[in-house]
Structure 1
Amino acid sequence: MSTDTDSLAFGEARRPLDHEIVIIGAGFAGMGAAIELKRRGFDDFVILERRSDVGGTWRDNTYPGVAVDIPSFTYSYHFEPNPGWSRAFAPGAELMDYALRVADKYRLRDHLRCDCDVLSADYDDVDGVWTLILASGEQIVCRFLISCHGVLVTPREPNIRGLADFRGKVLRSTAWDHDYDLTGKRVAVIGTGATALQIVPAIAPATAHLDVYQRTAIWVVPKVDPTIPRAVQWGFRRLPLTQRAVRTATTALSDGIVVLGAVYHRQLPLLTKAIETICRAQLFVQVRDKQTRAALTPRYGFGCKRPSFSNSYFRAFNRDDVELVTDPIERITADAITTASGVTRKVDAIVLATGFKVFDIPYTVRGVDGADLAKLWETDRKQAYQGATVPQFPNLFLIPGPYGVSGASWFGTIDLGVTHVVTVLEETRKRGATRVAPTPEAHSRFLHKMLRQVEHGVFKSDGCAGSNSYYVDEHGDAPFLRPSLGLFTWFSVSRFDRDDYSFTNDR
Structure 2
Amino acid sequence: MGAGPGGIAAGVKLKQAGISNFVILERAEDVGGSWHENHYPGLEVDIPSLAYQYSFARNPNWSKLFASGPEVKRYHVAVARRFGLYPHIRFGACVLSEEWDERRHCWILHLADGTQTTARFVVSAVGAFISPKEDPGIPELAEYRGKLQRPSEWDDDYDLTGKRVAIIGTGASSVQITPSIAGRVGSLTVFQRTPVWCVPKPNPRIPRAVQTVLRTPGLQAAIHGSALVVVDAALRVMSNTPMPVVRPTLRAVDATAIRGYRAMLRLMVRDPQVRAALTPDYGPIAKRPTANTGYLLAFNRDNVELVTDPIERFTADGIRTRDGVERGFDMVVLATGYHVFSDPETYTPGMVIGRDGVDLGKFFTEHGLQAYQSVALPILPNRWTLVGPYSWSGSGWHAFVEMTADHAVRAISEARRRGATFVAIRQSAHDAYHERIYRHGEAMRYYLAELNAHVPTYYRNSQGDSTYIRPTGFFAARRAHHRFPFSDYEFDIRTA
Indicate conservation of the 8 Å contact 1:262/1:303, yes or no. no
Identify if the C-alpha distance between structure 1 residues 225 and 252 changes in structure 2 by more than 3 Å, giving closer, same or farther: farther
User: 1:46-77 deviations in whole A, cap 9, x for unaligned?
Assistant: 11111111111110000000001111100000
Shift of 1:361: 5.2
Indicate conservation of the 8 Å contact 1:63/1:176, yes or no. yes
Is structure 2 residue 289 aligned with structure 1 residue 289?
no
User: 1:481-505 deviations in whole A, cap 9, x for unaligned?
Assistant: 1112212222233222322212122
Identify if the C-alpha distance between structure 1 residues 229 and 387 changes in structure 2 by more than 3 Å, giving closer, same or farther: same
User: 1:320-353 deviations in whole A, cap 9, x for unaligned?
Assistant: 1111111110111011211111111111111011
Indicate conservation of the 8 Å contact 1:192/1:353, yes or no. yes
User: 1:447-473 deviations in whole A, cap 9, x for unaligned?
Assistant: 222222221125446331221011111
User: 1:209-257 deviations in whole A, cap 9, x for unaligned?
Assistant: 11111111111233242210111112223x2333333323444566678
Indicate conservation of the 8 Å contact 1:406/1:412, yes or no. no
Shift of 1:262: 9.3
- Tell me whether 251-260 or 190-199 shows the greater mean CA deviation: 251-260
The corresponding residue for 1:447 is 434
The correspondence of residues 161-310 of structure 1 with structure 2, limited to 5 A, is 161-237=139-215, 239-252=216-229, 267=246, 269=250, 276=258, 279-310=261-292
Counterpart selection for 1:350 from 332, 336, 344? 332
Specify every segment of 5 or more residues in structure 1 that has no aligned partner in the other structure, as ranges. Answer: 1-23
In structure 2, C-alpha distance between the alignment counterparts of 1:255 and 1:272, rounded to whole Å: 20
Indicate conservation of the 8 Å contact 1:263/1:454, yes or no. no
Indicate conservation of the 8 Å contact 2:163/2:186, yes or no. yes
Shift of 1:261: 7.6
The one-letter code of the counterpart of 2:302 is D
Is structure 2 residue 453 aligned with structure 1 residue 465?
yes
Is structure 2 residue 459 aligned with structure 1 residue 477?
no
In structure 1, C-alpha distance between the alignment counterparts of 2:326 and 2:14, rounded to whole Å: 56
The correspondence of residues 2-401 of structure 1 with structure 2, limited to 5 A, is 24-156=1-133, 157-237=135-215, 239-252=216-229, 267=246, 269=250, 276=258, 279-359=261-341, 360=346, 364-401=351-388
The one-letter code of the counterpart of 1:352 is L
Shift of 1:36: 0.5
In structure 2, C-alpha distance between the alignment counterparts of 1:463 and 1:207, rounded to whole Å: 39
Indicate conservation of the 8 Å contact 2:5/2:33, yes or no. yes
Indicate conservation of the 8 Å contact 2:228/2:474, yes or no. no
Structure 1 length normalisation: TM-score? 0.90
Identify if the C-alpha distance between structure 1 residues 279 and 417 changes in structure 2 by more than 3 Å, giving closer, same or farther: farther
Shift of 1:274: 6.0
Shift of 1:34: 0.6
The one-letter code of the counterpart of 2:310 is P
In structure 2, C-alpha distance between the alignment counterparts of 1:275 and 1:68, rounded to whole Å: 24
Specify every segment of 5 or more residues in structure 2 that has no aligned partner in the other structure, as ranges. Answer: none
What's the RMSD between the two structures over aligned residues?
2.2
In structure 2, C-alpha distance between the alignment counterparts of 1:261 and 1:306, rounded to whole Å: 18
- Tell me whether 275-284 or 100-109 shows the greater mean CA deviation: 275-284
Shift of 1:397: 0.8
In structure 1, C-alpha distance between the alignment counterparts of 2:117 and 2:164, rounded to whole Å: 48
Identify if the C-alpha distance between structure 1 residues 61 and 236 changes in structure 2 by more than 3 Å, giving closer, same or farther: same
Structure 2 length normalisation: TM-score? 0.92
The one-letter code of the counterpart of 1:49 is E
Counterpart selection for 1:490 from 475, 478, 482? 478
Identify if the C-alpha distance between structure 1 residues 257 and 201 changes in structure 2 by more than 3 Å, giving closer, same or farther: farther
Q: SS at 2:51's partner residue?
A: coil
Identify if the C-alpha distance between structure 1 residues 445 and 152 changes in structure 2 by more than 3 Å, giving closer, same or farther: same
The one-letter code of the counterpart of 1:120 is S
Shift of 1:306: 1.3
Indicate conservation of the 8 Å contact 1:186/1:346, yes or no. yes
Q: SS at 2:362's partner residue?
A: helix
The one-letter code of the counterpart of 2:111 is L
Percent identity of paired positions between Structure 1 and Structure 2: 43
The corresponding residue for 1:10 is none
Identify if the C-alpha distance between structure 1 residues 410 and 278 changes in structure 2 by more than 3 Å, giving closer, same or farther: farther
Q: How many correspondences in the alignment? A: 483
Indicate conservation of the 8 Å contact 1:26/1:49, yes or no. yes
The one-letter code of the counterpart of 2:212 is W
Shift of 1:263: 9.3
